[in-house]
Amino acid sequence: MHTLTVDLGVRSYPVFVGPGLLERNDLFADYIPGSQVLVVTNDTVAPLYLQKVVDRLVDRKVDQCILPDGEQFKTLETLNGIFDKLLSNGHQRSTTLIALGGGVVGDVTGFAAACYQRGVDFIQVPTTLLAQVDSSVGGKTAVNHRLGKNMIGAFHQPRAVIADTDTLTTLPDREFRSGLAEVIKYGLMADATFFSWLQKNMAGLLDRNTDLLVAAITRSCQAKADIVSTDEREGGQRALLNLGHTFGHAIETAQNYRAWLHGEAVAAGMVMAAQFSRALGWLKPGEADAITMLIERAGLPTAPPAGITVEQFLSLMAVDKKAKNGALRLVLLQGIGDGLVTADYDAELLRATLAQLVS
């Protein structure tokens, strides 16, 4: 087991990464201060891992909330269903919520924990690669709105993150590849050495080699923990973590969160960011090609889906949390491992680049 810390003073918490963690009672008991627990999961994960987690919660009153599976259910209506379960079962302020599942379960459960009685404890137990390397760490919680992704939410840090890599053995190939997009992101935005490591080890990661997965997950989580520790609420450096996301969120919103997985949209979004960076003269052609090639090797899309126009992209990208004083800030690349957040770019060149990419 690898352990790292998200350093936020009194709100610091550990991230545990490794196989067999759902067999350990202590990892749960040490971070549940009260006697009440609500385990929130979905109807895909529940048959696989719910009972295993419940068995770890000895001497606790445990309730369960099973959500439908899918990004389209990341809504205020779903959130209200968690509140119904908490209130109908008499959960008090000392309760702890456990998010058992992927990014949707983690985001909705965390938002419920942030809101219920003005804030209760929760633990992240991510079961997808994407959640293990990204959404479970950092305290961002949210639901979607039909006009924009993750626009309704709160910052609320978990008590602990328990990432059992054994859960990845049951993950469908498409979901697994989706998670690799976020792994690649960490190399692109700030760690050229890690990007090179991914180029050498992508085949082994796709084969789900345990040692390689633990190494990739730990390195990704450490990169995110380092940024979150210095910029918890995305006032500056943390926005780098959104590389590919402004373009990607536009894709997801245009498709009503149904057609592409989040990591697929982010993958195409990273290629779009790389191509715009190349158009600005910041990326060398060989670097942009290397980015596209690695994402393609991971089995991920390298272009946006057909049917989204330039005007749709620009309209949907404008609904972005990084927008500041009316200006859209983008995460772009000055080189592999050298990301920056900027609104200082040629808007007409962005339009022209989008026109090439959607054609």
Catalytic residue, from 42, 144, 150, 242: name it: 242
Catalytic residue, from 91, 149, 159, 238: name it: 238
Catalytic residue, from 56, 74, 177, 224: name it: 224
Q: What is the pLDDT of residue 323?
A: 72
Summarize the confidence of residues 27-34 as an average pLDDT: 94
CA dist., res. 115 & res. 61, Å (int): 21
Q: What is the pLDDT of residue 326?
A: 73
The fraction of the chain above a pLDDT of 90, given in percent, is 93
Catalytic residue, from 175, 234, 252, 264: name it: 234
Q: Judge whether 245 counts as a catalytic residue.
A: yes
Q: What is the pLDDT of residue 327?
A: 83
Inter-axis angle of helices 192-206 and 210-230, nearest 10:
140
Summarize the confidence of residues 160-189 as an average pLDDT: 97
Q: Judge whether 249 counts as a catalytic residue.
A: yes
The fraction of the chain above a pLDDT of 70, given in percent, is 99
Give the Cβ contact number of residue 311 at 10 Å. Answer: 10
Q: What is the pLDDT of residue 340?
A: 96
Q: What is the pLDDT of residue 77?
A: 97
Q: Judge whether 297 counts as a catalytic residue.
A: no
What the block records as the tokens of 178 is 């989706």
Summarize the confidence of residues 252-278 as an average pLDDT: 96
Q: Cα dihedral sign for 154, 129, 174, 306? A: positive
Q: What is the pLDDT of residue 114?
A: 98
Q: What is the pLDDT of residue 272?
A: 98
pLDDT at position 324 over 80: no
User: Which residue reads 């209760």 in tokens?
Assistant: 120
Catalytic residue, from 159, 177, 249, 329: name it: 249
What residue ranges define each of the domains in the chain, with the CATH number in brackets?
2-169 (3.40.50.1970), 173-358 (1.20.1090.10)
Q: Judge whether 234 counts as a catalytic residue.
A: yes
Catalytic residue, from 175, 182, 232, 287: name it: 182
Summarize the confidence of residues 251-272 as an average pLDDT: 95
CA atoms within 13 A on the CB side of 319: 20
Mean pLDDT in the chain?
A: 96
Contacts of 180 (CB under 8 A, 6+ apart): 129, 202, 205, 206, 263, 298, 299, 300
Q: Coil, strand, or helix at residue 160?
A: strand
Catalytic residue, from 77, 118, 200, 325: name it: 118
pLDDT at position 321 over 80: no
CA dist., res. 51 & res. 48, Å (int): 8
The pLDDT tens digits of the residues spanning 104-113 come to 999 999 999 9
How far the first Cα of the chain sits from its last, in Å, is 47
CA atoms within 13 A on the CB side of 102: 25
Beta-sheet pairing, 338-342 with 330-335: antiparallel
Q: Judge whether 80 counts as a catalytic residue.
A: no
What the block records as the tokens of 214 is 């633990």
Q: Coil, strand, or helix at residue 130?
A: helix
Q: Judge whether 145 counts as a catalytic residue.
A: no
Lowest average pLDDT, out of 199-208, 248-257, 292-301, 313-322, goes to 313-322
pLDDT at position 304 over 90: yes
pLDDT band at 154 (very low <50, low <70, confident <90, very high): very high
Q: Cα dihedral sign for 126, 129, 131, 136? A: positive
pLDDT at position 319 over 90: no
Contacts of 68 (CB under 8 A, 6+ apart): 42, 43, 78
Contacts of 267 (CB under 8 A, 6+ apart): 178, 181, 184, 244, 248, 295, 298, 300, 301, 302
Q: Judge whether 182 counts as a catalytic residue.
A: yes
The pLDDT tens digits of the residues spanning 60-119 come to 999 999 999 999 999 999 999 999 999 999 999 999 999 999 999 999 999 999 999 999
Catalytic residue, from 74, 219, 245, 329: name it: 245
Phi-psi domain of 234 (left: phi exceeds 0; alpha: psi -120 through 50; beta: other): left
Q: Judge whether 224 counts as a catalytic residue.
A: yes
Catalytic residue, from 262, 278, 321, 329: name it: 262
The pLDDT tens digits of the residues spanning 115-153 come to 999 999 999 999 999 999 999 999 999 999 988 889 999
Q: What is the pLDDT of residue 34?
A: 96
Rg of the chain over all Cα atoms, to the nearest angstrom = 20
Q: Judge whether 322 counts as a catalytic residue.
A: no
Q: What is the pLDDT of residue 312?
A: 95
